[in-house]
Amino acid sequence: MDLSAINPVLLIASLMVAATPLLLAAVGELVVEKAGVLNLGVEGMMIVGAIAGFATAVESGSPLLGFVVAAIAGAALSTLFAILTQFAQANQVASGLSLTLFGLGLSALMGQSYVGIKPPQMQDIHFPLLSDLPVVGPILFTHDIILYFGIALTAAIWAVLKYSRVGLILRAVGENHDAAHALGYKVLRIRVLAILFGGACAGMGGAYISLIRVPQWTEGMTAGIGWIALALVVFASWKPWRVLLGAYLFGGVTVVQLNLQAAGVAIPVEYLAMSPYLITIVVLVILSADKSSAPAALGRNFHASR
């Protein structure tokens, strides 16, 4: 075992990379849940985003275009969920599950000819002066643009939810859809838009895994990250900045266990690989005592005739 091979600066830098897919998917889901909708299809939307983004980037040579298409693909898949739950009044848990099952199959089908290909690389941004600082430079200022986009998106969602009229309406719909309807807000329209937004975020998160984090396409490569993102929203008590914190925590766990595997610690690889999932459970247990901050109408369908 050689722990000295682990470089703390690189470790923190790769922690941020590992956290970004989680962050993107989780803030998207946060908006969806704030509108009172529980979409369990995050895993499915992520994996479809991963292959759609990957394929686009490979064909066009532009990773950025890949991310755009991944967002569109994620949103497109979430439309199915929106139709099922908002118009066909289907059970949200079952619909979300069906989205995940369908997405996993669809991505495997789409990705057949892309196994083993290397995608075009995304350039890291070089900040003048800042990137050359010792320690801080490599940790904070030598990443790709999507990573910064994720943090900016978190800030934007926080500000919109807290200070804007749009945020207030979204929260009203999530807390009490009957009251919001009585006030004249279009409950279904707002929820559908929130679902599409969540889908786009999940799609981008998936593309971040296949284009930057790994970067490669393998079947089922999201390996439960979508589900961890769902847990993260609970963990964060539906607060954007806490989602960021949680994502970095889980990113940290993933990176540390990968580094320990590489360093050849005496613990078998399989047990190290279990750790992110086990820690998710432990965190859920600790934090699920407090449910007061959950949107009151979460998971309940709205039908105007009542």
Please report, as ranges, the residues that interact with another protein according to CB under 8 A.
Answer: 40, 80, 83-84, 88-91, 93-95, 97-98, 101-106, 108-109, 112, 219, 223-224, 227-228, 230-231, 234, 268, 270-271, 273-274, 277-278, 280-281, 284-285, 288-289, 291, 303-306
Query: Which of 4, 6, 1 lies closest to 256, judged by CA?
Result: 6
Q: For residue 165, count CB atoms less than 10 angstroms from its CB and return exposed for 0-12, middle for 13-18, buried for 19 or more.
A: exposed
State the minimum distance, in angstroms, from the CB of residue 134 to another protein: 38
Q: Which is nearer to another protein, 63 or 295 (CB)?
A: 295
Q: Which is nearer to another protein, 43 or 144 (CB)?
A: 43
State the minimum distance, in angstroms, from the CB of residue 284 to another protein: 5
State the minimum distance, in angstroms, from the CB of residue 91 to another protein: 7
Q: Which is nearer to another protein, 19 or 230 (CB)?
A: 230
Structure tokens belonging to residue 182: 């009585």
Q: Which is nearer to another protein, 106 or 214 (CB)?
A: 106
- The residue ranges of DSSP E strands in the chain, in sequence order, are none
CB contact burial 71-108 (16+ within 10 A = b; e otherwise): bbbbbbbbebbbebbbeeebebeebbebbbebbbebbe
State the minimum distance, in angstroms, from the CB of residue 135 to another protein: 34
State the minimum distance, in angstroms, from the CB of residue 98 to another protein: 4
Q: Which is nearer to another protein, 148 or 185 (CB)?
A: 185
> Cα–Cα distance between 300 and 220 in angstroms, integer?
30
> Cα–Cα distance between 290 and 55 in angstroms, integer?
42
Q: How many CA atoms does the CB half-sphere of 199 hold within 13 Å? A: 27
